[in-house]
Structure 1
């Protein structure tokens, strides 16, 4: 990134000359050119590496500031300390050095505090965050940890104090360039800000819901058609934990009888307009995305060329510079672990040590319910509950504005949760979300943050199980492998106990009988431990077979998981090379199952030469989303058009549910004359699947006008943006294979945020790939030095140092 200084100069000067003081995409005026270009204070100071490549000694008064940090040739820090708290202090220090602006702005986004630094254009967004209760949830987390889990809290304190120790010596000329561009100063850290970061992760991974949309769709279609188009289970699913692996005691247990569901006839208002993509995605480490997901799998020693387990994990998230993950090694007595953590939180979320390896994928359960409240009056000061009037509890927070203004935000809370909206689909309803829960020691042995602190010190399966007992949200499929031979996967979180269909539609908020009853007991959550098939895996598919006695619902991906399981079942022996190849596989099971039906329904005799050439492109396709191939572009365009024509009765603008892709495929195969293929706008003519398939193809043929479709890389137009959407700070076009429904996930601003393969054994070895670098400074060569390796499907070895091995720089804390 040595080009960044002249690039910023040209970018800012051009913008100033063209636009003067017009607002940027952030809603801010352009910065004053004098301070920004000041040679001693401005962005010029952000060029080069500075302390990373130096031999430095620090003498801090804090007794936890003891240890060493050595940077390898990739810029990755290796922390060696005398205790967990010292390691956490030093982790905080180096996180602040590399990622302070990212940590600051992303937690502001969750907190609802962007307007304070970015201006009034952020007020609507901040209000939404405050009204959803993120500040209150973070305060609850901190209070619970301080009182109930003091050991975990001390780790968060040490981490925060390490960040602040770095800020205490930071001079304004050394501020990250984004502070200079946007005109604000770093915010001091605290455990509260780490709690905000974790709640932001919950929002992105478990904050999805469609209760009102489902209710409205049921009202429109009626029960028969609703059930036909929206079955709760995919009939050919390959679940994370097959029924044969569910604990026998649980498989014979039923907590609730089938009580049916209440009658639905309530109408809801049209959905409010969604935020624009920039408003919705910028500044967030974990922006909500229905396709947030991941892959992970582990093979047992008997299926490994080393005779020891091998584990692979690659989380799929929004991609940005800086990367959401921070690669680091943490070594202290009893722990020598390497992997990735979140900039803003202590510990490692994925990684390995001398004994075990672990990684996570998103579970996808719906853990948000919406309640229709019976308000007593228009000011919502009281509501009816079980025949009594109950006073509403109001929680006040302050929304501060850039320049000094402020606004008091009063949020009503009911026994079910906050009431975030006054307009739109969920107006005046209460939101019950699992992330609101912060149970104490009476319910669990440690905090959610404590799960990752314990995993990086685990030595065996029992330690892994104990680490998961305190974990609440967002629910994850925790994959595990140990050098002693054990492998396991446990979908884990405080899944709410539900009767059938509870949470699927809007719920009545007039009785405590409809409140949540607590979580599924830990011992009754599904687990696959040393499975007979010799591997454990997940890719966001459904958790269990239908025989699992507890009801749950959610959004599940049913193509990647089936394909990965098929490959693992057919491959008797795996090695680390084959594990990497599967992570990089761009094969689409969706295309394999759907494309033949599309091709078979075309009337070839009616096609002209261009039509036959176009059909040949798809007929000769190998179902791989290669960057230079045109077939994926044609297939995606064709299926999207057919989907829109088929489900025209369910327009997006009406705020209705949309069927899953597998449902369209099943209709094409099993019911090509189904009434759903009849277009609503032509009441005098009955269409079939073949007619709509032909119509969609003809539309493409007409638009192409004799040309071939664009290559997949051109059509996908995938890049990695800067977290704040600052032009020039992102990546070039990504031309490598991959799509959202292939194991190798690549989309615009979305994909494998980290790839990791760990070979267990007497001396575990690991390999990884990060689509970025350690530094958050666009002027650093370590800002994006991992991008090319990641894009080309290469990996670097995850070495773990016990002493310096030719570091590029070392910091000694004495």
Structure 2
């Protein structure tokens, strides 16, 4: 809540000031204060009860609060319904996946033009074909500042810009028990911020996964149906160039940020009808230019009404009606019921802009060849013929919908489902690795270590939970290859650009595949050297050799010691999967792979697998299985 309201600095000091400035600039609390009187009365009642419960706990447990409050010597803030809306909008912003992406591609287009950028990123079909106005690098400092603030906030909450969930639904025909099931891979940042919740009363039997600040079930059941909400990137953010005659429509807001052990900081926020003004510049040809952020989160939508109606929905039609209220953040909501139906629905509502609006040229749905205007539509799909619904990052439209290659019906137990729908398979590696191995010519290697590393890659099944040195080799190679292809051009455009680009994992992998399937590209040539023109085969082979040399220097010439658990960041390996099955009583299976140190004096880490069966109608079993549980019952 402090993050959403821009009040981290008053508890933790100067180091979080940038994040507070961003929260105040985007205005999550201002959005919430404006919308709280417009939400459905039933939703407001739920939020009020939730906040009253939190405040009562704070008041009655002064001496029993979490040790972090005592360690940092600050007191938790009291909650009000608008705070839940602010937290919801904050998460929608952080998971929207667009600010950094649009900044990166605006800079590239500004410096190199659309044709050069399209060549280097062949997968994209929504780049502008031509740029009518050029701002040179005038706006780069403005964009770098807000990206820096945004990155501080995402790092604080451990949210990556590619924090997109995998999820799936299986029809009854794909289980030995002949019952449907929902599954999800939990985003890394939620591993420590989720609870299992159950509520039993005369009229309601509700349970599932909840997160702090949002008192609704995101993945759960109501006794008749079950649902899973999966956040999806939405192209609902644009950088808008405000017209010069727009000054009279800009409101100035002065806010003071309390900073612990430091003088207070005052900031001035300029808010336009399109969104907050994040900076300005002065062009010799046209005079002053202001840039604002227009984001779909500024439009009212009663998204929490979706959650309240899901709690009482009993069939597909009522489920669709509930999902139609969910606009921000964009989400696909999967569905199963006791009649063995499975389905998915997503309501898409794109922001509309006044006629004549000018935008910075970057990746945008506005440049998609099929774009005809804003979309306001509920997309839905009930009972697909193959009995499988699968959502995996941005692969829709790039790979077939059904990417499950294992025979699910041969599974001995439903609890093994968590390991089946390729949740642990790196699909990027699955499509890139064969191409890379084909480009490299191992017979040209003079060092036996290069040949050995190549052979390790050829035997890898792309399973990230199979802690094979191949995972370390592959990840390190991709990083070096990306640097070899893109860094020279990006450094020449802006010193911050390449580091910003590295946060766009999906864009990197998708376009690597498109780029490497072609023959040659000007992006392969290092523009910093004039003595030789690099080609695809030369670049890929040299990057592979550099990878092996780097790993051998850092760790050992013994490839068996290049184990991922000791060489790669934990988020590359750790996973938490959930499955919900509508048995006679709903059951949630939890499967996790976590890294732990083998000894507190030892740097080595071990991968620990944990699988538990959580029957939400058996509280003693839940306690025994160490489930974090909030349980409420009323007769």
Pair 276,432 (structure 1): closer, same or farther in 2 beyond 3 Å? closer
Give yes or no for contact 1:489–1:527 (8 Å, CA) kept in 2.
yes
| 1:437 paired to 2:299 | yes
| Structure 1 equivalent of residue 366 of structure 2 | none
Residue 425 of structure 2 corresponds to 587
Residue 260 of structure 1 and its aligned partner are, at CA, apart by: 8.0
**What is aligned with 1:797?**
614
Deviation of 1:427 (Å):
9.1
1:567 paired residue number: 404
Tell me the equivalent position of 1:639.
Answer: 478
The reply to whether residue 214 of structure 1 matches residue 105 of structure 2 is: yes
Counterpart CA distance in 2 for 1:794 and 1:715 is 25
1:214 Cα deviation from its structure 2 partner: 2.2
Q: 1:465 to 1:525 in 2, by over 3 A?
A: closer
Could you tell me whether the CA contact under 8 Å between 1:360 and 1:478 is conserved in 2?
yes
Contact 2:168 2:388 in 1 (8 A): yes
SS in 1 for 2:404: helix
State the Cα distance separating 1:475 from its structure 2 match. 0.5
Alignment check: 8 A CA contact 2:169 2:389 kept: yes
> What are the residue-to-residue correspondences of 1:383-782 with 2, within 5 Å?
384-385=245-246, 390-402=248-260, 406-421=264-279, 428-439=290-301, 447-496=302-351, 505-506=360-361, 520-521=375-376, 524-541=377-394, 565-567=402-404, 571=408, 576-582=414-420, 585-600=423-438, 601-626=440-465, 628-651=467-490, 653=495, 655=497, 660-671=508-519, 673-703=520-550, 704=552, 706-708=557-559, 710-718=562-570, 739=572, 746=573, 751-752=575-576, 755-769=577-591
Q: CA deviation at 1:583?
A: 5.5
How far is 1:331 from its partner? 1.8
**Unmatched 5+ residue regions in structure 2?**
283-287, 363-370, 595-604
Structure 1 runs not aligned, ≥5 long:
1-106, 236-258, 376-383, 440-446, 508-515, 546-557, 720-738, 740-745, 773-787
Output aligned runs, 1:192-271, within 5 Å: 192-206=82-96, 208-209=98-99, 210-231=101-122, 233=124, 263-268=132-137, 269-271=139-141
Alignment CA distance shift 1:353-1:790 (3 Å): farther
- Going from structure 1 to structure 2, the CA distance change for 1:481 and 1:806 (only over 3 Å counts) comes to closer
With the length of structure 2 as denominator, give the TM-score of the two structures. Answer: 0.81
Structure-1 residue corresponding to 2:176 = 305
Rounded Cα–Cα distance in structure 2 between residues aligned with 1:715 and 1:374: 51
Closer, same or farther: CA 135–262 of 1 in aligned 2, 3 Å: same
Deviation at 1:131, TM superposition (A): 1.2
Name which structure has the greater RCO, CA cutoff 8 Å, separation 6+. 1
SS of 2:77's partner is coil
The whole-number CA distance in structure 1 between the counterparts of 2:87 and 2:488 is 40
In the alignment, what sits opposite 2:223?
A: 354
Taking only aligned residues, the RMSD between alpha carbons, in angstroms, comes to 3.8
Q: Cα–Cα, structure 1 residues 637 and 482, in superposed 2: closer, same or farther, change >3 Å?
A: same
Check 1:355–1:770 CA distance in 2 against 1; reply closer, same or farther (3 A cut): farther
The CA distance in 2 between the partners of 1:682 and 1:651, in whole Å, is: 15
CA contact (8 A) 1:771 1:791 kept: yes
TM-score by length of 1: 0.65
CA distance in 1, matches of 2:203, 2:106: 53
SS of 1:587's partner is: coil
Q: 8 Å contact 1:468–1:492 — kept in the other structure?
A: yes
User: Judging changes above 3 Å, is the alpha-carbon distance between structure 1 residues 607 and 467 closer, same or farther for their aligned structure 2 residues?
Assistant: same
How many matched pairs? 584
Deviation string, structure 1 residues 444-464 (Cα, Å, up to 9, x no partner): xxx212222221322111221
Whether the aligned pair in 1 keeps the contact of 2:585 and 2:615 (CA below 8 Å) is no
